[in-house]
Amino acid sequence: MSHQVYFTRDKKNLGHSDAFRHVKRAVNAALENEGTERDCEISVTFTDDAGIHAVNLEQRGIDSATDVLSFPIGEEDYDTGCLFLGDMVISLERCEKQGEEYGGGFAHELQYLTVHSVLHLLGYDHLDEGPMKAEMRAHEKDIMKRLGYDF
């Protein structure tokens, strides 16, 4: 499979030049784990807490920052057969804080948030504490193990 990940930084000086590598690795692991049999494209925007707050308010009507947002699209490019899964927005600022808070570090947190977002782009959800959330968490755990983390 040849998956494409397109990156944008909406602000200068966000740091973490290694973020691109971590996200690509996590995207590929998630799509492989989920048995994706076609080429996929994902658009990723790196931002800070203020940037993701603005997107969250504009797109979802939620007036707060968060760590990652996922916007599934699922459109096929009929010329190439590639499936555009959608967009994700990641707050590198929040990712850094949560990596410290949860003890896994920046790379672990960024890869977890990427895996979580890819699963949303593939149609998983966790609206309640029921079976849908348990299924999504099980997939996250499998993918994080694939990435070399005890999760």
Predicted TM-score (pTM) of this structure:
0.94
SS3 96: helix
SS3 56: helix
The CATH number linked to 25 is 3.40.390.30
Cα(94)–Cα(82) distance, integer angstroms:
31
pLDDT-based confidence at residue 129 (cuts at 50, 70, 90) = low
The reply to whether 151 falls in a domain is no
For residue 35, the model assigns a pLDDT of 93
| Buried b or exposed e, range 66-95, using 16+ CB within 10 angstroms | bbbbbbbeeeeeeeeebbbbbbbbbbbbbb
The reply to whether 60 falls in a domain is yes
The reply to whether 142 falls in a domain is yes
Taking only the tens place, the pLDDT of each residue in 78-93 is 888 899 999 999 999 9
pLDDT at 127 over 80: no
pLDDT at 126 over 80: no
The reply to whether 62 falls in a domain is yes
How many domains is the chain built from?
1
In Å, how far are 30, 32, 38, 108 from 35, measured between CA atoms?
9, 5, 9, 23
Taking only the tens place, the pLDDT of each residue in 49-80 is 999 999 999 999 999 999 999 999 999 988 88
What are the backbone dihedrals phi and psi of residue 122, each rounded to the nearest 5 degrees, phi first? Answer: -85, 0
> What residues make up the domain containing 66?
4-146
